[in-house]
Amino acid sequence: MKSFFWKRAEQENKIWIRNCTESDAPRLASEVYPADVKIDEDVNWAGDPLNLVLDYYRPFNIEDSKECFLLIHGGAFTYGSKVLDKCFGMHLAKYSGIPVANMDYTLMPQAGLSKILGQIFSCMNFLTAKYGIERFHLTGDSAGGYLALISALAARNSHIAHDLWIFEKLKGRVCSASPVCGGFRYHPKGFPGIFFEENPTGSSKNKQRLPDYVYDITNIAATDSELKIALITGEEDFLREENMKANGILEKALFFDAKNEGDMHMHHVFPIAHPEWPQSQKAIELITYNATRKL
């Protein structure tokens, strides 16, 4: 029998998906993609039976690269696809001169956190095999920012990887993580945190246990002093306070708190929705700098 908390999370998820769909549809219909970016579109990186795909964006003057950004879309882990971040990813590739891989993954509750993280590792190994990528820079928005940061930590620390039930050996190396309006703290009995542990029946029995730090990754992130981290938030981001607290803990992190400019309001994931805005361009500059800087 499903628990009360699981049932409540399912109801909240339905409302969340409906609201996101209504707000994203007009934005996606009006997007104008930048020129001078080549696209390998809908590349099947997972094979059967998952059939998950990615886009690979390259500036026209770049043929081969040993590094790339891996872009992970948000949506509270339960909604969305790579199309939400396509325009942003193309802008990032054009400005940075570094290819960007924009991936799909299995959404919760069909997959728990460990399965999604395992897919991110598998996707990186696919990019190494197909494109020769050796160095990865992880970025993502909202829940995707969480996934980018915790994947980077697991990729760089085998103990964390084992804690999270990730056993695929990564062939490349993760050098940086740049969450955009990222979420870092989730309640284990609230939406969407209740979906983290593999639990297809929604009952309180037979759950795949995860370490407590998955519900607040800021402290575990502070243990990796060599991981290059950039945190991006905005004046009207509902996760702004959470990002400011994370910045206080992560002493070496870069931090950008974008301010409103006239009619341009720096709402949650503003660089994803409006990558052409001046403040969004500054965010893209910071993500690029974070990937290329030396600690």
Q: Which CATH number characterizes residue 246's domain?
A: 3.40.50.1820
pTM above 0.95, yes or no: yes
pLDDT at 6 over 70: yes
Question: How many distinct structural domains can be found in the chain?
Answer: 1
Per-residue confidence (pLDDT) for residue 201, from 0 to 100: 63
Paired with 59 in beta bridges are: 37
pLDDT at 206 over 70: no
Q: What is the 3-state secondary structure (H, E, C) of the chain?
A: CCCHHHHHHHHHHHHHHHHHHHHHHHHHHHCCCCCCEEEEEEEECCCCCCCCEEEEEEECCCCCCCEEEEEECCCCCCCCCHHHHHHHHHHHHHHHCCCEEEECCCCCCCCCHHHHHHHHHHHHHHHHHHHCCCEEEEEEECHHHHHHHHHHHHHHCHHHHHHCCCCCCCCCEEEEEEEECCCCECCCCCCCHHHCCCCCCCCCCCCCCCCHHHHECHHHHCCCCCCEEEEEEECECCCHHHHHHHHHHCCCCEEEEECCECCECCECCHHHHCCCCHHHHHHHHHHHHHHHCCC
Q: What is the domain extent for residue 65?
A: 4-292
- Residue 7's CB is within 10 A of a number of other CB atoms, namely 12
Query: Which two tokens mark 266?
Result: 């720096």
Q: Give the confidence band of 204 by pLDDT, cuts at 50, 70, 90.
A: low
Per-residue confidence (pLDDT) for residue 207, from 0 to 100: 61
Per-residue confidence (pLDDT) for residue 154, from 0 to 100: 98
Per-residue confidence (pLDDT) for residue 198, from 0 to 100: 83
260-272 tens-digit pLDDT: 999 999 999 999 9
Residue 199 contacts residue 112 (beta carbons within 8 Å): yes
**165: buried, middle or exposed (CB in 10 Å: 19+, 13-18, 0-12)?**
middle
